[in-house]
Amino acid sequence: MSALVRRLLDLVYPRRCVFCRRIPDRETGFICDDCLAHLPPAPEITGRGEFYKSAVAACAYVGDVREAVIRFKFGGCSFYAEPFGELLADAVRQKLDGAFDLITFVPISRLRRRGRGYDQAELLARAVGNALGVPVLRTAVKVRHTGRQSRLGTPAARRANVQNAYRASRPDRWSGKRLLLIDDILTTGATVSEVSRVLLSAGASAVVCGAFAVTPLKESG
């Protein structure tokens, strides 16, 4: 899209902040100055899930962030991947610099992708890859359709729900590499942990994780 078309579109449909939905006083991109300054900090992630070495997140899954993630996943706002990816790339730069060779993502099932039209974690991973200049590769497929993790209470139920739901894809392309595994939300860590286990057993040399938002500990159960 040309700069002129973008400017005309901005006049007709002023770009709203992805978090508070207000039209910013000045052109700030996708996020207003106020929301950027008050992004809820990511709570402690250590101890959630196993198999992966470490994990980072851009912010906490609360308030306006939570609402924005819901629009991103279920409301068709696939373009949120760009601002979310830039925020996550900042967190990765700060805490996981030099810890991975390739970026990958937690896949959704074909059934869900057909319904949604896009794989939100893949879009997020591609935005992170663009921001960091690191290649993004599919490394797994979801072979079993599972119920939504968010509907399950206990960590044990969440682990059971995702067990054997993923299979490695084309390990010849990434075996021996260190992977950064991207997902949108990290709660108990059951999903990223299970995908990490699959990737390591298929030959990845290490897995670190990056989630856009992480739930506060009290909600992680």
* Minimum distance from residue 41 beta carbon to Zn ion (Å): 16
Residues 28-67 that bind Zn ion (CB under 5 A): 32, 35
SS (H, E, C) 41-107: CCCCCCCCCCCCCCEEEEEECCHHHHHHHHHHHHCCCHHHHHHHHHHHHHHHHHHCCCCCCEEEECC
> Binding residue for Zn ion (CB under 5 A) from 2, 11, 16, 20?
20
How many residues touch Zn ion (CB under 5 A)? 5
Stretch that binds Zn ion, among 9-17, 48-56, 110-118, 162-170 (CB under 5 A): 9-17
Residues 117-146 that bind Zn ion (CB under 5 A): none
Stretch that binds Zn ion, among 10-18, 89-97, 176-184, 200-208 (CB under 5 A): 10-18
Q: Given the complex with Zn ion, which of 59 and 198 has the nearer CB atom? A: 59
Q: Which residues contact 156 (CB under 8 A, 6 or more apart)?
A: none
CA distances 142 to 29, 146, 187, 195, Å, are: 34, 9, 19, 9
Q: Which residues bind Zn ion (CB under 5 A)?
A: 17, 19-20, 32, 35
